Copies of this chain bind each other. A is one copy, B any other.
Amino acid sequence: MLTPTERAIREAGLRVTQPRLAVLNALDAIPHADTQTIIEAARKTLPGVSHQAVYNCLDALTHAGLIRRIELAGSPARYELRPGDNHHHLVCRECGVVIDVACSKGVAPCLTLTTEQTQGFEIEEAEVVYRGLCPECATTPSPHRRQLP
């Protein structure tokens, strides 16, 4: 008998291994974790796992569609579970925190391009990132990151 997580891995055509379970557990516990954080979290359940194994898992699980890679300016790659559900991200430009925001319109109307606009591209997905200040950074004067002097 397989757990749902194990079943999902198998159904993606991948073998169920300790590093993969550790990575998925880490992502379940820490949404939008960056690579370093995932490595550290995975080592709590699987002490000696190599960083290379974690990179391999992240690549394999991303290609399999079980997780999704989020790349944001100025910080290492982050990953999240359940790429299928239709949501986007709010990113604080000061502290880098990422939170989910549901897409209010289902299939978002302005994310549909005309044939003329796509210029022959076959569009597969649209990704939206909202940038701004989180409540903490908006109220705190300045002692944060990446700000002009």
The docked-state distance in angstroms from the alpha carbon of A113 to that of B105 is: 11
Spot the interface stretch: A23-31, A41-49, A125-133.
A125-133
- A133-B129 in contact (CB<8A): no
Residue among B117, B121, B129, B130 making CB contact with A121, cutoff 8 Å: B130
Number of copies: 2
The docked-state distance in angstroms from the alpha carbon of A127 to that of B132 is: 11
Contact count band on A: 35 or more
In this assembly, does A92 line the interface, its C-beta being within 8 Å of a C-beta of chain B? yes
- B131-A125 in contact (CB<8A): yes
The docked-state distance in angstroms from the alpha carbon of A114 to that of B77 is: 28
Residue among B101, B114, B119 making CB contact with A99, cutoff 8 Å: B119
- A117-B138 in contact (CB<8A): no
6 contacts between A and B (CB under 8 A): A71-B73, A71-B74, A92-B121, A101-B119, A121-B134, A125-B130
Q: Give A residues with C-beta under 8 Å from B.
A: 63-64, 69-74, 77, 90, 92-93, 99, 101-105, 108-111, 113-114, 117-135, 138, 148
| Extra 18 A-B pairs, beta carbons < 8 Å, given A69-B73, A118-B130, A122-B138 | A70-B73, A71-B71, A71-B72, A71-B74, A73-B77, A104-B113, A110-B110, A120-B135, A120-B138, A121-B130, A121-B132, A123-B130, A123-B131, A123-B132, A124-B132, A125-B130, A126-B130, A126-B131
